[in-house]
Amino acid sequence: MNPRKRDEALTAAGGTPLPACDPVALTKALIACESITPARGAVFDALEAALVPLGFAVERFVAGAAPDGPVENLLAVRGSGGRHFAFAGHLDVVPPGSGWVSDPFSPVVRGELLHGRGAVDMKGAIAAFVAAAAATPADAGTVSLIITGDEEGPAVFGTRALIERMAARGIAPDLCLVGEPTSVNALGDMIKIGRRGSVNLWIDVPGRQGHVAYPHLADNPIPRLVAMLAEIEGIVLDTGSDWFQPSNIEITDLTVGNPATNVIPAKASARLSIRFNDQHRGADLAARIDEIAQRHAPGAVVTAKISGEAFLTPPGDFSAMISAAIEAATGRAPELSTTGGTSDARFLSALCPTVEFGLVNATMHKLDEAVALADLALLAKIYADILTRALQPAII
């Protein structure tokens, strides 16, 4: 990147160029780049501009095609040999919606809070890690950033494409920290050591259209769909496990699309979402739903999309190390949790022990999303401590 373009990226929030080691300045620069999923272009320019002066070799590439692409990704590596610590995150954000007090992509400080879309999910955490890397000697070990522009979207050509690129390059981290906003009430009160899996299913039940006055000449699919949904609704998948809450099945849509009052419809459809713990696999759950559907409506079509399997990084040296860094800076011992939705940690956990820790999530995906200025500085300090601990040969 040429110097002029770098300075433009770093001053996207206005004012004179500010050092990449300032997490507030970099968060502002990233927020100022509109990056509704899938993100491309300027926001990656801003991050690259911050990383190159710190000695990172930055590779950017675009993967995939419509409808789930193209997606821009960034892989940055500094150092060689020793322990390899990876930080993973995303620069894309959800659409801001209307009703913000100020422009969601014009970062503004009001009181002690920095407002803007992506402030906590998760541009602030990325900026804090860059600041931590700036404070870490370049010869301490290998540090990488695995950054996608499509975590909030289909996530088909994002982190999974990055993992493929890393495998092709022979890049294999020993530990991975994902900067999702895991804290609930105060920075560091919770970290994630696992996540439940997710599978969505679409059920289409065929029938035969006809006049309601002549039901013997038609075949109404609705009663069969309702019967199978009643059976599915009664399923108790489990009662939870040592580290996971119970799995749950939710009926999220029921559609017939019949505008007429005197017509038996030709088709009825439903959609399910299952969030499952480590006692299940997505394919097994899909097969169970299909079996129920076929009993009630032979010929029904069940289509499943598995977003990710459940994963767990069992409590051990890695989570203890992160907890120790948090407690040293905040005085609080974080809760180890697997609650919440999915994240790209579901893919990264296949590479190495993976834990999630980031900012307070109270305003993520909400109007007037905001991060406390003090939390940005504190998170950078904690990340720097984690880096120091993680790059020591004795850890893990």
Gyration radius of the chain's alpha carbons: 24
8 A C-beta contact, residue 115 and residue 368: yes
Q: Which listed residue (22, 45, 72, 92) is catalytic?
A: 92
State phi, psi for 152 to the nearest 5 degrees.
-80, -10
| Residue 57 in tokens | 């070799």
> Is 59 a catalytic site residue?
no
8 A C-beta contact, residue 273 and residue 198: yes
383/396 Cα distance (integer angstroms): 17
Kind plus residue range of the DSSP H or E element containing 274: strand 267-276
With 0-12 / 13-18 / 19 or more C-beta atoms within 10 angstroms meaning exposed / middle / buried, residue 281 is: middle
> Is 92 a catalytic site residue?
yes
297/227 Cα distance (integer angstroms): 9
Q: Which listed residue (45, 121, 150, 151) is catalytic?
A: 151
13/127 Cα distance (integer angstroms): 14
Decide: helix, strand or coil at residue 48: helix
275/284 Cα distance (integer angstroms): 13
List CB contacts of 230: < 8 A, sequence separation 6 or more.
none
User: In sequence order, what DSSP letters do the residues of 7-55 get, joined into one string?
Assistant: HHHHTTTSSS---TT-HHHHHHHHHTS--BSSP-THHHHHHHHHHGGGT
Q: Residues with catalytic annotation?
A: 92, 151
